[in-house]
Structure formats: C-alpha cells, structure tokens
Amino acid sequence: MARVEAKARTDILAEHFSELAWLWERREAMLFSPAFGPGALAAHDRRMEGHVRGLVVAGEDAVPLLAAAIESDDPATAAAAAYVLLRRGTLAGDRAVLRALTGAEGARLDAIRRAVCMAPIDAIAPELGDLLATGPAPAAAAAAEALAFHGRLDAAAPRLARLRADEDPAVRRAAWRAVALSGAAPVAGGS
C-alpha cells in the first residue's frame, strides 16, 4: 500500500514538473512577444506558481526528480529544476544550483542563469560574488548577470571589464546584459 502511495506521489510530482518545464519554455517565448499582454503573462506566472508550490511542499520527495532534471540538456528542464531547488531554500539545493551554474555551458548555462535571475538569491549572493570574482569566465558572466538582475551587482567590480572583453562572444554578451540590468554605466578598462 505504501509503495502504491509513493508511486502515486512520484507520478504527481513528475506531472507537476513536466508541466512547469513546459510553462517555463512558453514563458521565455512570450516574454517580449507582441502577441501577449502583461495580463496574460501574470496569469501564466500564477499557473507556474501552482506547480512550483506543488514541488516545494513535497519536500525531500521531489529532490531525486529535481537533481536529475538540473543535469538535463534540455534548457527548460534544467531551468525549472534550478528554480524549484532555489525556491526550496535548502543548503543542498542551493549548492546543486551553484555547481550546475559553474559547470554548465551554452544553452544549459543560459537556462540555469535565467533560473537564478527569477529565484530568490539571498542565500547564494556571496557565492555568486565569488563566482564573478574568480570563477570561469562563462559562469562569472552568468553570475554578474544574475546579481545585476537582483540589483546586487557592484558595477565597479574589476572582473566586469575583462568579461566584456573576453574572447568568448557569449561571455561578452552576458557581461553587456549585466550592464543593462545594473543600469550603471560601465567603467572602461579590461584587457
């Protein structure tokens, strides 16, 4: 009986997560679309929030699912997992997200960075600052962007100018997005 209940719970959580990942992908597409208005976006966000809460209240039961999903190469799946892990507010979840942000590349890095932008970051802001200062360039630029999104970027951070001049265009792009999000004029420099 207990096994049946556990299976049912797992299925429900998988359903919540699958729906959340799909809604996450949809949201990214609708964010600056002429086909939707703020009301539609708000309704979409409420729908997502229902699934997020379903996964958060599941506690440890949702962890195996989220731990596997954050490793996914599908951007929306990785992003949804990272977002829920941060919303859970556990040390293990926060560490999993930081680990993923540090090691991810390309579209997966972009996706996890987006999740860090959307989620509360009070608990990981110092680590994001460290990542910006000393992490690999792609992760440092992603950290800069996430900090800027939350209004926590120090525009005078010495690494920023170097990131804007990095050899990888994806890093340069992210560094300029951080400038836009920070609202502060960049300081010339870098190598």
Partner 1 sequence: MRVLLKVLDGPLAGGVIAVDEGVPVTVGRSRDPGVVAVPDQAMSRLHFVVERSGRSCRIRDLGSSNGTFVNAAQVTDAWLQAGDRILAGDTTFEVAVEAEAAPPPPAPAPPPPAPSRAPPPTHARPPPTRPDPAFAAALEDDDETVRREALWAAAWTGQPWLRGYLRALLANPEPAHRDAMLLLAILGGPEDVELVLAAARALDPGPERFRVLAAFGHPAVVDELLAGIEDEDAAVAAAAGEAFEKLTGAELDRIPAGPEEAPAGADPGDATLRPDPAAAKLFWRDAHDRFFQSSRWCRGLDLSGEIDAATINRLDLQSRLEACVRGRYLGSWSGSPADLERLGGLRP
Residue closer to partner 1, measured from CB, 103 or 162:
162
What's the min distance (Å) between Cβ of 5 and partner 1? 32
What's the min distance (Å) between Cβ of 44 and partner 1? 9
Q: Residue 172 is which amino acid?
A: R
User: Which of 10-18, 34-42, 88-96, 99-107 is the region at the interface with partner 1 (rule: CB under 8 A)?
Assistant: 34-42
Distance CA 115, CA 131 (A): 16
Residue closer to partner 1, measured from CB, 1 or 35:
35
Binders of partner 1 in range 167-186 (CB under 8 A): 169, 172-173, 176-177, 179-186
Query: Does residue 44 come out as left (phi exceeding 0), alpha (psi in the -120 to 50 range) or beta?
Result: alpha
Q: Is 37 in the site for partner 1 (CB under 8 A)?
A: yes
Binders of partner 1 in range 100-129 (CB under 8 A): 117-118
Residue closer to partner 1, measured from CB, 4 or 191:
191
* Closest listed residue to residue 176, CA positions, set 167, 189, 163: 163
What's the min distance (Å) between Cβ of 160 and partner 1? 10
The answer to whether the CB of 127 falls within 8 A of the CB of 93 is no
Classify 47 as helix, strand or coil.
helix
137-149 and 125-134 helices cross at what angle (nearest 10)? 140
Distance CA 56, CA 53 (A): 5
Binders of partner 1 in range 137-166 (CB under 8 A): 148-151, 161, 164-165
Distance CA 89, CA 94 (A): 7
What's the min distance (Å) between Cβ of 33 and partner 1? 5
Please give the backbone phi and psi of residue 188, each rounded to the nearest 5 degrees, phi first.
-65, 150
Residue closer to partner 1, measured from CB, 89 or 189:
189
Binding-site ranges for partner 1 (CB under 8 A): 30-39, 41-42, 45, 48-49, 117-118, 148-151, 161, 164-165, 169, 172-173, 176-177, 179-189
